Structure 1
Amino acid sequence: MAYPPPSPPPPPPAAPPKSRNGLLIGLLVAGVVAVVMLSACGIGGFLLYREYDDSGEAGNGSSSGAEIEDLINYRKTSPAALSQSHITSPITYPMTPPAGGPHFGDWQNCVGDVYTAPIVDGNAVHSLEHGAVWITHKPGLGASDVESLAAKVRGQAYMMMSPYPGQSSPISLQAWGYQLAVDSADDDRIDEFIRQFRQTATMEPGATCAAGITTTTG
């Protein structure tokens, strides 16, 4: 007896159409994600803007130091004096001690060095370009004050100290583009200056303070 051929299997059921509510939920989720991403970008842009100092420079993280009383900000008042060009002969700087400007090709070693004799301006300024804070004092400053200053320098990277004949104040602090004169080693502004400008005032982020020269003029 012959049997008829088997019938083909029925087609699979069609997928149910997406509901209108499901589509709206998907669009809503995508919108929320977009808003979150845009907000994050906005916050990131704001934080990047905050990295700019008052002079409009970015990338070196430097504070303007506006809260340090009597701070001189040459980045604002005398930006033309802060050329980073290299020189081969000594020059006269517009501030004493110098706080930036043209300098020699060799930098002064500034890894906690306490120099007991004056150092060459052109080498010291190169160290400032690398991010050093340079503490100077009048020759003849009291031994206790000298030791107090030295204690802030020894063992600290991007720090150096030396006597500076001819400066008007007993103590002066220099970073690239910034200067502060004080009368006593006990002045709280010394620590604040160091905190704000050590390494952060650099014009060459990542530049070393080691392997510099250690010669003095005395």
Structure 2
Amino acid sequence: MANAKQQNSAARRAKLEEARRKERARERRNRIITITASVAVVGALAAGAAYLMSAADDKDKAGAQAKSSPVTGERTWDKLTQNHVEKKVDYPMNPPVGGDHNPVWMNCDADVYSKAIPKENAVHSLEHGAVWVTYSSKAKKADLDKLRERVESTPYSLMSPVEDQAEPLMLSAWGKQVTVKDSADSRVEQFFTKYVQGPQTPEPGAACTGGIAQ
């Protein structure tokens, strides 16, 4: 009888020990899985952060290159006058990129005008660091839609028709002007990057709101 009881007790202890061994093994596996998953998540986050930093660096470098590189086909005018006048001005270029202008600027806080605006007021906007997108009736609607989207998302820019300009699509800043082929022309991005509140601006930081609107 004693031997049978001892054998049963020994068997129960063995089963209990085996169960405990399996539980410890299961816990070790769970810890390994948890640690491995944590390492994978941390690694993914680190890789993602590194990618984002690299992408940001690439964007900064691209922006710096766009600002330092000349815009192909760009025309430049120096020594432009900045007098405030309340009369029509006979500008030597069309659209005008500087010179005497109206005392009140055209609102240029991502403003799109469907009708022609006074050039004397638009020049004042350029003095404040705005980029002015102009177009004639020869411009394609698809290009105008894309350029409109660009202006509407860019403070210190404005857009309006200038029917008597030489080419369908033109971009102007103070003392700077370029003709572009279409809205996908890479010079559109470069011109905006370089000249919205760019180094050519006579009065950087001056308002683009509080002027006049159409």
**Superposition TM-score, scaled by structure 2 size:** 0.66
Match in the other structure for 2:213: 214
2:74: which partner in 1?
71
Which of 114, 134, 137 aligns to 1:136? It is 134
Mind listing any 5+ residue stretches in structure 2 that lack a counterpart?
Answer: 1-65
8 Å Cα contact 2:95/2:162 also seen in 1? yes
Contact 2:67 2:190 in 1 (8 A): no
Matched pairs, number: 148
Asked whether the equivalents of residues 111 and 155 of structure 1 are also in contact (C-alpha less than 8 Å), the reply is no
Letter matched to residue 135 of structure 2 = H
1:58 is aligned to none
Superposition map of 1:179-218 within 5 A: 179-200=177-198, 201-215=200-214
Please state how far the C-alpha of 1:74 moved relative to its aligned partner: 0.9
Could you tell me which residue of structure 1 aligns to residue 35 of structure 2?
Answer: none
1:127 to 115, 125, 132: 125
Are positions 1:147 and 2:145 aligned together? yes
Q: Distance in 2 between matches of 1:73 and 1:156?
A: 23
* Residues 66-93 of structure 1: per-residue CA shift (max 9 Å, x gap): 5211111112xxx2xx100011110110
* Alignment check: 8 A CA contact 1:97 1:164 kept: yes
Look up the SS of the partner of 1:180 in the other structure: strand
- What does residue range 52-131 of structure 1 map to in structure 2 within 5 Å? 67-75=70-78, 79=79, 82-131=80-129
CA distance in 1: counterparts of 2:67 and 2:93, whole angstroms: 19
* Aligned counterparts of 1:65 and 1:193: Cα–Cα separation in 2: 11
Match of 1:170 among 168, 178, 184: 168
The 1:65/1:99 distance shift into structure 2, 3 A limit, reads farther
User: Taking structure 1 as reference, are residues 95 and 66 closer, same or farther at Cα in structure 2, changes over 3 Å only?
Assistant: farther
Distance 1:93 1:134 in 2: 16
CA deviation map 1:86-112 (0-9, x unaligned): 111101100010001100011000000
Counterpart code for 1:170: P
Contact 2:67 2:193 in 1 (8 A): no
Identity of aligned residues (%): 39
Q: Which structure has the bigger radius of gyration?
A: 2
1:140 Cα offset (Å)? 4.3
Output the CA distance in 1 between the equivalents of 2:69 and 2:116: 30
Which amino acid in the other structure matches residue 191 of structure 1?
E
Cα deviation for residue 64 of structure 1 reads 8.4
- The residue number in structure 2 matching 1:15 is none
Distance 1:178 1:64, change over 3 A: farther
Measure the CA separation in 2 of the matches of 1:92 and 1:65: 32
TM-score normalised by structure 1 residue count: 0.65
- Superposition RMSD on alpha carbons, in Å? 1.6
Unpaired runs of 5+ residues, structure 1, are 1-62
Indicate if the aligned counterparts of 2:101 and 2:121 stay in contact, CA closer than 8 A: yes
Greater fraction of residues in helix: 2
Shift in Å at residue 139 of structure 1? 2.3
